[in-house]
């Protein structure tokens, strides 16, 4: 359903930008975990960008939601931004958006309070990123016809591919990773011959 008001256009535009930002944030998050580098940039650039872009994404999403609410053509309550399925208009697809946004808010709040939280809890919430992003993509595709054709469709596919590749890369590393208990054995093998005599093998003389 396309309206002609500035609010509606702004909502759609900020929606697309948010999707791009979230794609970048997820990829950067994986890069941080893998200690990857962005060419030409220092290490702290990766962590900084990951955090800053996530905050920027939230800002864009806030505008995206508010402009959709303010647009008079359809009736969307402001609560629909965070309460899933609170909107009469496109209840399901907008509901997905709220779910995705709720997960993001949980991730950001736990990250801001990270020092006070149990590490396992922080990590578990942060892993919700892998749920939040696909839900955001589904919301993008379903809630307006924009991503269903033309260059926006291409953009959506490109984002999905990038995320898929990043996740595969992450999983491949997890599969290869040596568990803690075996890490020492690996380090030992690197520096010492396996088993065998601990004593000089050569001729002994005074």
Partner 1 sequence: MTTLTDPSGPAMTATSVRAPAGLPRLLPQVPGVPEDLRAHVARHGRPPYRGGRGQLIQSVEAAGLTGRGGAAFPTHRKLAIVAAARGRTVIVANAAESEPASRKDALLLRVAPHLVLDGIQLTAEAIGASEAHLYLHPGTGHAIRQALAERHAAGVDWLAVTVTEAPPRFLAGQESALVNRLGGGPALPTFVPPRVTERGLGGAPTLVQNVETLAHIALIARYGPRWFRELGTAREPGTMLTTVHQPDGQTQVIEAEIGAPLRTLVSGSAGPGARAVLIGGFHGTWLPAAVAATLTLDNQALDRHGAALGAGVIAALPADRCGLAEAARVTRYLAAESAGQCGPCLNGLPAIAGALAELAAPGPRRGTRQNAERWAGLVTGRGACGHPDGTVRFVRSALTVFAEEISRHERGLCAATSRKPFLPLPDGMPTTEDDWT
Partner 2 sequence: MADILRVNPINCSGHGVCAELLPELISLDEWGYPIVDRRPVPPDLDPEVRRTVAACPTLALKLMRQ
Q: State the Cα torsion 25-31-36-39 to the nearest 10°.
A: -30
Q: Is there binding between residue 187 and partner 1 (CB under 8 A)?
A: yes
Closest CA to 130 of 98, 107, 157: 107
Q: Is there binding between residue 72 and partner 1 (CB under 8 A)?
A: no
**Helix 91-112 crosses helix 43-70 at what angle (to 10 degrees)?**
140
Do 100 and 132 contact (CB within 8 A), yes or no? yes
151 makes contact, choosing from partner 1, partner 2, none, with CB < 5 to 8 Å by partner type, with none
Closest CA to 89 of 75, 71, 70: 75
Site string for partner 1, 79-98 (x = CB under 8 A): --------------------
10 or 48: whose CB is closer to partner 2? Answer: 48
Q: Is there binding between residue 183 and partner 1 (CB under 8 A)?
A: yes
Cβ neighbours for 131, distance < 8 A, ≥ 6 positions apart: 103
114 or 145: whose CB is closer to partner 2? Answer: 114
The rounded distance, in Å, linking the Cα atoms of 33 and 196 is 38
118 or 205: whose CB is closer to partner 2? Answer: 118
32 makes contact, choosing from partner 2, partner 1, none, with CB < 5 to 8 Å by partner type, with partner 2
Site string for partner 1, 121-160 (x = CB under 8 A): ----------------------------------------
Q: Is there binding between residue 198 and partner 1 (CB under 8 A)?
A: yes
Question: Could you tell me how many helices (H) and strands (E) the chain has, helices first?
Answer: 7, 0
Q: What is the DSSP letter of 177?
A: P
Q: Is there binding between residue 34 and partner 1 (CB under 8 A)?
A: no
Tokens 């609010």 sit on residue: 7
Contact window for partner 1 (CB under 8 A) among 9-17, 28-36, 79-87, 182-190: 182-190
Report the interface residues with partner 2, using CB under 8 A. Answer: 32-33, 35, 42-44, 47-48, 114-115, 119
């Amino acid at each position: 359903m396309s309206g002609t008001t500035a609010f509606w256009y702004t909502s759609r535009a900020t929606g697309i930008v948010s999707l791009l930002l979230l794609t970048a944030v997820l990829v950067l998050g994986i890069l941080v975990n893998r200690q990857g580098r962005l060419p030409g940039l220092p290490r702290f650039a990766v962590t900084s960008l990951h955090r800053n872009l996530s905050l920027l994404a939230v800002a864009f999403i806030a505008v995206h939601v508010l402009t959709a609410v303010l647009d008079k053509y359809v009736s969307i309550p402001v609560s629909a931004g965070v309460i899933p399925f609170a909107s009469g208009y496109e209840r399901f697809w907008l509901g997905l958006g709220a779910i995705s946004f709720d997960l993001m808010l949980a991730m950001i709040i736990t990250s801001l309070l990270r020092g006070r939280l149990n590490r396992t809890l922080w990590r578990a919430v942060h892993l919700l990123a892998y749920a939040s992003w696909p839900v955001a993509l589904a919301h993008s595709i379903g809630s307006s016809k924009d991503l269903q054709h033309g260059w926006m469709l291409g953009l959506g596919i490109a984002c999905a591919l990038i995320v898929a590749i990043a996740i595969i890369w992450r999983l491949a590393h997890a599969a290869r990773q040596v568990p803690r208990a075996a890490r020492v054995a690996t380090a030992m093998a690197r520096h010492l011959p396996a088993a065998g005599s601990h004593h000089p093998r050569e001729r002994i003389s005074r």
